[in-house]
Amino acid sequence: MTTKPANAPSARTRRANHVSLALILLLPLVAVSAIALGTVNIALGDTFRALFDSLFGSLQGQAQGQAAVIIAEIRLPRVLLAGLIGAILASSGAAMQGLFRNPLADPSLIGVSAGASLGASIAIVAGGSMLAGAMGLALVSLGAFIGGLLAVIVVYRLATSANGTSVATMLLAGIAISALTGAIGNLLEFFSSNDMLRRISLWRMGGLDGADYQRLSFACVTAALVLIGLPRYARALDALLLGESEARHLGIDVDRTTRSLVVIVAIGVGASVALAGTIAFVGLVVPHIVRMLSGPSHRALLRNSALAGAVLLILADLLARIVLAPTELPVGIVTAVIGVPFFVLLLRQRGQYGMA
């Protein structure tokens, strides 16, 4: 009779590692495909040469061909930005589902998405003629980021009392603040011109057409904060699945964990909305699918959700660019079209993965 070594990984851990390996192999394949395909298709060999030259800086002056310019200036920053935002949204969704102990939880439940949308709408309406070019894009992005953070601050203050922070109250406060910001946004739209209405609508649909290296740098900093910060609370999230009282008995500082997770998610989602508008379903559906594949342990769940979110958003952005080329669809529409069937399937099979 053979005995299993004490330090041997469990079957669930091995399965989670296999999922991670599959996603790690899939991510560069999807990314390269997204770089090569578009309104102008680029041969695979030219794609790799242009990527090498772009990444290692060997292209100079007239040596740049059309493929190299398209990849270096347009597609490479766009694909990288899509991957980072997808990773931020999906890992934030996994953290919120663990915090609220609700598989239907989404980062928008704490009001950050609604607040960011209102901030962007205010910037669009107030900006007027200043919205042309990169400065206008930066102004709208700043408004979205500030709006998201302010909404979360209000939600957190409403949910905090002398007895600590109530997760249930935070959920209700997030719903209330989302409704309030939605009403204010609708009021702004009522008094807006047709041009402003179109700008607001396109922003809310989500899009990565404004990707550049400046935005990519901001996304890298934000992604580093989220993807390094959230896994530090994996054990606490596992404990919270048992309930707040049980988590406290296990030595978890529930209030500090809640505060830290909300701040990290608010920064991540607020930055994502600021950079790409509202992108639906990534933070809701991806953690569901990953949980079914790799189990409920948050150490693996956060890691695999980030990888799967990056794959999904890069793929969705590719479809947004090529389905009606040369017309480009808002990527938020594509993620919704992809996400809704998956979500309906998950609801029909909810008994298999812990939903009542």
Q: What is the pLDDT of residues 21-62, one digit of tens each?
A: 999 999 999 999 999 998 888 888 888 887 877 666 654 444
DSSP secondary structure letters along 252-300: --HHHHHHHHHHHHHHHHHHHHHHH----SHHHHHHHHHHHHH-S-HHH
**126 vs 304, residue with greater confidence:** 304
Return the percentage of the chain with pLDDT > 90, whole number.
Answer: 28
Residue pair 174/111 in contact (Cβ under 8 Å)? The answer is yes
Residue pair 144/120 in contact (Cβ under 8 Å)? The answer is yes
Within the chain, how many helices (H) and strands (E) appear? 15, 2
Q: What is the pLDDT of residues 155-194, one digit of tens each?
A: 888 888 777 777 778 888 888 998 999 899 888 888 888 8
Q: CB-based contacts of 90: which residues, under 8 Å, 6+ apart?
A: 282, 283, 286, 287, 290, 305, 306, 308, 309, 310, 312
Say which range, 1-10, 235-244, 259-268, 283-292, has the weakest mean pLDDT.
1-10
Q: How many whole angstroms separate alpha carbon 110 and alpha carbon 61? A: 48
pTM of structure: 0.87
Is residue 63 over pLDDT 50?
A: no
Rounded to an integer, the average pLDDT of 12-16 is 84
Is residue 226 over pLDDT 80?
A: yes
Rounded to an integer, the average pLDDT of 149-159 is 86
- H or E element in which residue 107 lies: none
- Predicted local confidence at residue 315, as pLDDT: 95
